[in-house]
Structure 1
Amino acid sequence: MNKAQNRVVRNHFNIRMLLLKFDNVLDLQRKFIYELRRKILDTNEPSGELNIIFNNVLTKAMDQFLPANKKRKNWDFEGFKTFLLSIGIHLEEANLGFLEYRDREHIKQRYLNQIKKCLSSHNIPGKVIILSEIDKYWQEHLTNIDFLWEKIFLGNIQYDKIDWFIKECDMAFIEMIRRAEIAITRTCVEWHNKIGNDRENDVR
């Protein structure tokens, strides 16, 4: 009987420790988001943060479609082109050939410069774009975590699933940041394209 009680007490202790670890994980995620928001709110010029975001987005896309550890013949050029189009980069016919005959650094610099053109559009509300997309994806992340918690445990906290759940939270947060950065990049590029089109129409 004592052995059984000790086992129950030990399991409850382990569960409490894992729940505390989960609280710490969410707390770290909150601190990251709040610190990012504070940093954006306190700056008058968000171009520095946007530069970091643009670079992150393009680097991750290249790692996915044009990985450095694979030979050029195994690169997914079509996937990379589709990605560029999805964030508003207009690919001319000449650009398509450019992709297949340059090294990764040339390709990255070419399209990073193209994305950064939107920073020259002073009418782009960079702070508003960053904050709105971060808030949107952060709230979505919290909702998904709550849903996952209810789906897995349904009122019965199981010791063997908590550690896995914590890892899922970490992975979901990383994915949330990736998606938010893509959305920020896409919105900035779309604003730049719209401003350019409006100016062309005004000239006409």
Structure 2
Amino acid sequence: MKVFNMRPAFHGYSSSSIVAWYYERAWNTLTGAKRAIVARAVDLYLQEIVPEHRTIRFNVPENLEDGDQFLECNKKNIKIIDDFFADNSVRSKHFRDNMEIFVARAIDQIFETGICEILKQKLFPEAVIPYTEDQLDNLLVETNSSYTEAVNECVRVFRNGLSDDTNEELEILESKLLSARELLDKNVGVIENELTRRKEKK
């Protein structure tokens, strides 16, 4: 969805911080999003974690067909999830249940954001260093395109200072700069890998 396109590059973010960004973004821009995300996350959690291994006591309506009971329980569960993201001590308590993963899956199932793929790369990165000429050419083209786009956006936004720019414009610029930095980091990684390889050959 467009509302999630203007995301940071998440350089240096923890996995829970990445999920929190999507959670808050959905909540702040889409009516009813938080209610839907929490309901789905709770369903996933209860389906997959057996009672004896749960550390979180979610609220479940006695009558699943009672709309009022559902809304009341959902309201209480929203507070549990909100506290999870807001309070490190609460997050630590529930760490072994990987609650942020259930929230991420709920977000992805509802909004198709790609957050689960982002977390996969964050938690289990595929360190692919380009070696061939074609791979290096592709990396160069991608880096040049991203860098040029970021610089052009800087020129547009920085003109007349930042006071006349909206939060959305600044967030877009930040995202483009972080994306460009990630690609530059990849280029640095290629050079470092080659230098390491040469040292090991000696």
Taking structure 2 as the reference length, the TM-score comes to 0.28
Asked which structure has the greater CA Rg, the reply is 1
Higher RCO, 1 or 2 (CA under 8 Å, sep at least 6)?
Answer: 1
Query: Which structure shows the bigger proportion of residues in helix conformation?
Result: 1
